[in-house]
Structure 1
Amino acid sequence: MNDASWPRLLAVDIEGNGATPPDLVEVAVLPIRNGCFDIEAAGAWLVRPPIPVTSFATRVHKLTNDDLADCPEWSEVAEEVNTALGDAWICAHNASVEYRVLRRHLPAWTPAGVVDTLRLARTTYPDATSHTLDALTEHVGLDLTRAPGQRHRAPCDAFAAAQLLLAMAAHYSSWEELAVKGTLPGCAPSEPAARPTAPETLF
């Protein structure tokens, strides 16, 4: 693939407090430029949610209410996160969750498009026994030794999604071909909003 044809793109991951609908407790963005991710330009934000983190959510991402007690509220970091996202494309694993939750927290934000690495992986690796991010990391043999933090935290999962996308890109001749297979419908400015296909689940 001609890496120079890629648009401005960010790998994104978020973690929540386990509420319904979820409040954000962590956001991470990792720029992908010309087919390479840029760790030095990555951004991550911890957020103190208005509703305490549930014990189940803590078991998933290990963030406790004590960990977040001195962190800023969403209103204090929203503008910074919005600036970091801009009008770039984003990619995420099961990206409908990231898209819907971020849009609810940033109503004026609209990405150029959304690539779902889960959607793309089902086409690219139909023989995989599972298409979770953990399973695909093992199936593809992704190298996560440089990943920041631990799995199920936003910076690490954004890194894993970026690695997965770059691995899958080798199977496509152009960004346009990849985008046809992986773009989440209803997430571009010119498209009608897609109806959610599953409940908004975020831990």
Structure 2
Amino acid sequence: MRQIVLDTETTGLDPLQGDRVIEIAAVELVNLLPTGASFHRLVDPERDIPAEATRVHGFTNGDLAGKPKFAEVAADMLDFLGDAPIVAHNAPFDFGFLDAELLRCGRSKLDRSRMIDSLVLAKQRYPGMPNSLDALCRRLGVDNSMRSSHNAVLDCTLLAQVYLELMGGKQPGFELAAALAGRGPALATIEAVAWTPRPITVPQDRDAAHAAFVAGKIKDALWLKPPFAVPGVE
């Protein structure tokens, strides 16, 4: 199961008032765990960055001078996103900004059916409690000590860990065997590894001693009766 964790940084809070995207980051999850594949771009917003926005994410006009415009990174971003569900914290904010940027360069909006809002998930699990990313990291034991300011790459990394916990800390190993056997979703990043069975052999004297012990101490051992009994095995 492929999903994308996404975060953006912007010049402000409202794309309808001319605020623009300045940073896009995304990490790939397969069965809820990061694969190591990621996407990151800094973007020239084609406008000034207000001081109050700089105080939030740390980016200045000089940091983004000469960076590509959104229209120049849109194709790469969409290729990375593919058709996977997209996880974001307060997802309507990120979707709203990306939709505005995509429309501005003549592309279609993101399909809202792909949106997974981790903030909504957190509110359902912890109603009435603080559910910011920092609050969730503290509550769920995710180390966010390096988060001194908003940063899309770091926020994606932290959110991926938080999202795993919000989904119950599900371990993907149970799905791996089914996937490799063709009974589950194909995982293109996982290859079957050849292995050689190494049965444990029991010395004859130990086997005979065990059989004598069972015969003398255990009456009607179940594993010696059908359907459990295997010919030649005690």
SS at match of 2:99: helix
Tell me the residue number matched to 1:187: none
Aligned AA for 2:141? G
Output the CA distance in 2 between the equivalents of 1:171 and 1:158. 17
Tell me the residue number matched to 2:219: none
| Distance verdict in 2 for CA 1:87–1:111, change over 3 Å | farther
Matches within 5 A, 1:34-53: 34-38=31-35, 40-53=36-49
Report if the CA contact (8 A) 1:90-1:111 is conserved: no
1:118-154 C-alpha deviation (Å, 9 max, x unpaired): 1000111236x31111111111111347x8x864111
Matches within 5 A, 1:53-64: 53-64=49-60
Larger relative contact order, structure 1 or 2 (CA cutoff 8 Å, min sep 6): 1
SS at match of 1:88: coil
Tell me the residue number matched to 1:153: 151
SS at match of 1:42: strand
Aligned AA for 1:158? C
Matches within 5 A, 1:61-80: 61-80=57-76
Tell me the residue number matched to 1:180: none
SS at match of 2:111: coil
Output the CA distance in 2 between the equivalents of 1:74 and 1:158. 20
**Alpha-carbon shift at residue 161 of structure 1 (Å):** 1.4
1:30-87 C-alpha deviation (Å, 9 max, x unpaired): 111012112x311100001111111111000001110000211111111111111121
Tell me the residue number matched to 1:181: none
Tell me the residue number matched to 2:163: 165
What's the C-alpha RMSD, in Å, of the aligned pairs? Answer: 2.3
SS at match of 1:11: strand
Any unmatched runs of 5+ in structure 2? 171-234
Report if the CA contact (8 A) 1:15-1:154 is conserved: yes
Tell me the residue number matched to 1:97: 93
Output the CA distance in 2 between the equivalents of 1:119 and 1:19. 19
Which consecutive segments of 4 or more residues in structure 1 shift more than 2 A? 109-112
Tell me the residue number matched to 1:14: 8
> Quick check: 8-17 or 135-144, which moved more?
135-144
Output the CA distance in 1 between the equivalents of 2:97 and 2:9. 10
Tell me the residue number matched to 1:178: none
Structure ID, larger Rg: 2
Alignment coverage as a number of residue pairs: 163
SS at match of 1:134: helix
Report if the CA contact (8 A) 1:103-1:110 is conserved: no
Return the TM-score normalized by structure 2.
Answer: 0.64
Matches within 5 A, 1:119-158: 119-126=120-127, 129-144=129-144, 151-158=149-156
**Alpha-carbon shift at residue 19 of structure 1 (Å):** 6.6
Tell me the residue number matched to 2:115: 114
Return the TM-score normalized by structure 1.
Answer: 0.73
Tell me the residue number matched to 2:232: none
SS at match of 1:49: coil
**Alpha-carbon shift at residue 105 of structure 1 (Å):** 1.7
SS at match of 1:51: coil
Aligned AA for 2:93? V
